Amino acid sequence: MVHSAVYDSMPEIIDVLQDPSWDTAVAGSDGELFLSRRWMQSLSQAFGFGFQAVVVRDESEAIVGGLPFVRLDDVRGKRTVVLPFSDFTVPVVSIAAPWETLIQPLINLGDPLIVQSSAEGVVADDPRFKVELETVRHSIALDADFDELMARCGQQPRRHIRKAAAAGLTFRLADSLDDVRAFFDLHLGVRKYKHRLLCQPFSLFESLWKNFLSDGDGGLMLGFDGDVVAGGCLLLEAGDTLYYKYSASHPDYRAKGVSHAAVAESMAHGLSKGLVALDMGRSDLDQPGLIAFKRRFGASQSPLTKFCYEPPGGVAATGQAASVLLSELTALFSDERVDDELTERAGELVYRYFA
Are residues 155 and 127 located together in one domain of the fold?
no
Are residues 176 and 121 located together in one domain of the fold?
no
Question: What CATH number does residue 10 fall under?
Answer: 3.40.630
Domain-embedded: residue 114: yes
> Tell me, what's the pLDDT at 318?
61
> Tell me, what's the pLDDT at 320?
84
Per residue in 158-187, pLDDT tens?
Answer: 999 999 999 999 999 999 999 999 999 999
What values do phi and psi take at 195, rounded to 5?
-110, -10
Are residues 98 and 176 located together in one domain of the fold?
no
Are residues 226 and 184 located together in one domain of the fold?
yes
Per residue in 101-137, pLDDT tens?
Answer: 999 999 999 999 999 999 889 999 999 999 999 999 9
Q: Residues 245, 34: contact at Cβ < 8 Å?
A: no
What is the spatial distance between Cα 183 and Cα 98, in angstroms, rounded to a whole number? 43
Per residue in 54-67, pLDDT tens?
Answer: 999 999 999 999 99
Domain-embedded: residue 56: yes
* H or E segment and range at residue 54: strand 51-57
Number of domains composing the chain: 2
- In the three-class reduction of DSSP (H, G, I as helix; E, B as strand; rest coil), residue 178 is classed as helix
Question: In this model, does residue 8 exceed pLDDT 90?
Answer: no
User: Per-residue confidence at 2, pLDDT binned at 50, 70, 90?
Assistant: very low
What is the spatial distance between Cα 148 and Cα 111, in angstroms, rounded to a whole number? 50
> Tell me, what's the pLDDT at 179?
98
Are residues 133 and 13 located together in one domain of the fold?
yes
What is the spatial distance between Cα 258 and Cα 170, in angstroms, rounded to a whole number? 9
* H or E segment and range at residue 280: strand 277-284
> Tell me, what's the pLDDT at 22?
97
Q: Which residues contact 9 (CB under 8 A, 6 or more apart)?
A: 56, 57, 58, 64, 96, 97
At position 64, the amino acid (one-letter code) is: V
What is the spatial distance between Cα 69 and Cα 80, in angstroms, rounded to a whole number? 7
Number of residues in the chain: 355
> Tell me, what's the pLDDT at 313?
75
Average of per-residue pLDDT across 47-51 = 98
Question: What CATH number does residue 204 fall under?
Answer: 3.40.630.30
* H or E segment and range at residue 323: helix 317-333
Domain-embedded: residue 290: no
What does DSSP say about strands 170-173 and 93-94: parallel, antiparallel, or unpaired?
unpaired
Are residues 61 and 152 located together in one domain of the fold?
no
What is the spatial distance between Cα 301 and Cα 257, in angstroms, rounded to a whole number? 23
User: Per-residue confidence at 4, pLDDT binned at 50, 70, 90?
Assistant: very low
Are residues 112 and 205 located together in one domain of the fold?
no
Per residue in 315-337, pLDDT tens?
Answer: 555 678 899 999 999 999 999 99
What is the spatial distance between Cα 77 and Cα 322, in angstroms, rounded to a whole number? 9
Question: In this model, does residue 6 exceed pLDDT 50?
Answer: no
> Tell me, what's the pLDDT at 316?
55
Nearest in space to 158 (alpha carbons), one of 270, 282, 267: 267
Distance, CA of 226 to chain centre: 31
Domain-embedded: residue 341: no
User: Per-residue confidence at 77, pLDDT binned at 50, 70, 90?
Assistant: very high
Q: Over the chain, what is the mean pLDDT? A: 94
Radius of gyration of the chain (CA): 21
Taking the model in full, what pTM does it have? 0.94
- In the three-class reduction of DSSP (H, G, I as helix; E, B as strand; rest coil), residue 345 is classed as helix
> At CA 112, angle to CA 195 and CA 283, rounded to 5?
30
Question: In this model, does residue 95 exceed pLDDT 50?
Answer: yes
Q: Which domain holds residue 44?
A: 2-137+306-315
Domain-embedded: residue 182: yes
